[in-house]
Amino acid sequence: MKGKAHWILTILSALFIWACSSTGDDTPITDDDGVSLTFDRGAMLENWADNIILPSYNQFLVDYAAFKADFESFQNDRSGSNLIALRSSWVDAYLSWQSISPFEVGPAEDNGLRLNVNTYPTDVALIGTHISSGSYNLDLSSNRDSKGFAALDYLINGIGGNDAEIVQVYTDAITGDAHVAYLGEVINDIDTRVTTVRNAWQNGYRDTFVQNDGSSATASVDRFVNDFIFYYEKFLRAGKMGIPLGVFSRTQTPTLVEAYYYPQLSNQLFLAGLSTVEDFFNGKAFGSSRTGESLASYLTTLNQITLRNDIRNQFSSARTAVSGLGPFRAELENNSPAADMFAAYDEVQGAVALFKVDMVSAMSIAIDFVDADGD
């Protein structure tokens, strides 16, 4: 009798196991709690393209049109008050640029947009040569450090010791017009390039981008995540903080900060870039609080809640640390070493490993960029 009960129990258990495992056969991969682990990469690409990238380009062009209008006014009436208005809309446009700078894929990459629009430090001597000769080609890559937002910074904020002197430069009877003409050329160059890229997104690239929703090394998600981490590492972390700090060269160099001639802006430009990174990570629609599929929701689906929260917390630590600093240029000029700025840099650096190691390994994305060999 006892033996029989054992047999029955065994058979029943076997049936139970068979039944349980068979129910799993046709359902998607699930984790221990039965949550689906599949993630719709196409929906994430759509959210990126339609709610973040394109609206950001469009808003930039709106802000830039306002800047251009202020330039028209300044060109016609080169007064101190028009210079102040011009500077104010330049600040808005420069901040707005920080919300499109990370998106160097497709048409932006083909046009080398970032290096054409925001190479700094600017080459003051080269700008002087261009203005006095009146002969220059802003399409040459060797002229990238004589145009873009950094050249505008010099032309609007640094070409004279104060506003009166700056106005003097543009009203000079002999050379004033040449200066205004060059300022206009630099302003148009940015406008033309960003418009070209935005139009390419509108006229076909958006669909190319969204439809390439696979998971190979050349798929949109893989490539874009690579470009995005590259931006964070090289342009946000190194360009705006690490290089002027001398993290790589061991020489602290205040002249290498972004917006050197308008130093109160440098930190804002960094924080605007950080906001773009943060909003992109969270899939937040541009200019709204709505969110869609994103790297954050991808991590949630993959059950990487801790990592997702770690990344968010690291952004927050970086923001707090940088917000507590004086203007980068002053931090660098007044402190050697600039200990507070170094500490803030460490918080910014903290996100790199989370992105570049933990996040990409969770998403099975290979990092394909390497440091240039330096020659």
- When the beta carbons of 115 and 164 are compared against another protein, the nearer one is 115
Residues 208-247 that bind another protein (CB under 8 A): 218
CA end-to-end span of the chain: 86
Q: Which is nearer to another protein, 162 or 218 (CB)?
A: 218
Pick 119 or 252: Cβ nearer another protein: 119
Which one of 52-60, 141-149, 180-188, 285-293 is the stretch in contact with another protein (CB under 8 A)?
141-149
Name the β-bridge partners of 291: 284
Nearer to another protein, 77 or 371 (CB): 371
The CA distance from 101 to 76, in Å, is 31
**Is residue 228 a contact partner of residue 235, using CB atoms and an 8 Å limit?**
no
Instruction: Kindly state whether residue 134 participates in binding another protein, applying the rule CB under 8 A.
Output: no
Report whether the peptide linkage leading into residue 337 is cis, meaning its omega lies within 30 degrees of zero. Answer: yes
250 binds another protein (CB under 8 A): no
Is the CB of 111 or the CB of 171 nearer to another protein? 111
Which of 141, 215, 313, 316 binds another protein (CB under 8 A)? It is: 141
Q: Which residue has the tokens 């001597």?
A: 125
Contacting range for another protein; rule: CB under 8 A; set: 37-45, 140-148, 307-315, 349-357: 140-148
**Minimal distance, residue 139 CB to another protein, in Å:** 6
Longest dimension (CA), the chain: 117
Q: Choose which of 78, 144, 179, 284 interacts with another protein (CB under 8 A).
A: 144
Decide: is 1 part of the binding site for another protein (CB under 8 A): no
Return the structure tokens found at 368: 């394909």
371 binds another protein (CB under 8 A): yes
Please tell me whether residue 134 adopts helix, strand or coil conformation.
Answer: coil
The yes or no reply on residue 140 touching another protein (CB under 8 A) is yes
**Should residue 8 be labelled a site residue for another protein when binding is judged by CB under 8 A?**
no
Q: How many residues lie near another protein (CB under 8 A)?
A: 14
Q: Judged by CB under 8 A, which stretch of 81-89, 201-209, 319-327, 367-375 contacts another protein?
A: 367-375
Tell me the H-state helices in the chain. 2-24, 41-46, 54-76, 80-97, 106-110, 113-117, 124-133, 148-153, 163-171, 176-200, 206-211, 220-230, 243-245, 266-282, 295-301, 305-323, 328-334, 339-353, 360-363
Determine contact, residues 311/355, Cβ cutoff 8 Å: yes
Q: Which is nearer to another protein, 222 or 331 (CB)?
A: 222
Smallest separation (angstroms) from another protein to the CB of 194: 17
Alpha carbons 317 and 65: distance in angstroms, whole number: 35
Residue 139 in contact with another protein, rule: CB under 8 A: yes
Residue with tokens 């719709």: 40
Distances (CA, A) of 249 to 234, 253, 311: 14, 9, 28
Q: φ, ψ for residue 285 (rounded to 5)? A: -60, 145
* Nearest to another protein of 179, 223 (CB atom): 223
Residues 69-128 that bind another protein (CB under 8 A): 112, 115, 119
Quote the CA–CA distance of 146 and 123 in Å, as a whole number.
5
Using the rule CB under 8 A, is 372 a contact of another protein?
Answer: yes
Nearer to another protein, 26 or 371 (CB): 371
CB of 211 to another protein, least distance (A): 18
In angstroms, what is the minimal distance from the CB of 132 to another protein? 16
* Amino acid letter, 59: Q
Burial class, 301, CB count within 10 angstroms (exposed 0-12 / middle 13-18 / buried 19+): middle
142 contributes a contact to another protein by CB under 8 A? yes
Tell me if 373 contacts another protein by CB under 8 A. yes
Tokens 């330039």 locate to 71
Can you give the binding site for another protein, defined by CB under 8 A? 112, 115, 119, 137, 139-142, 144, 218, 371-373, 375
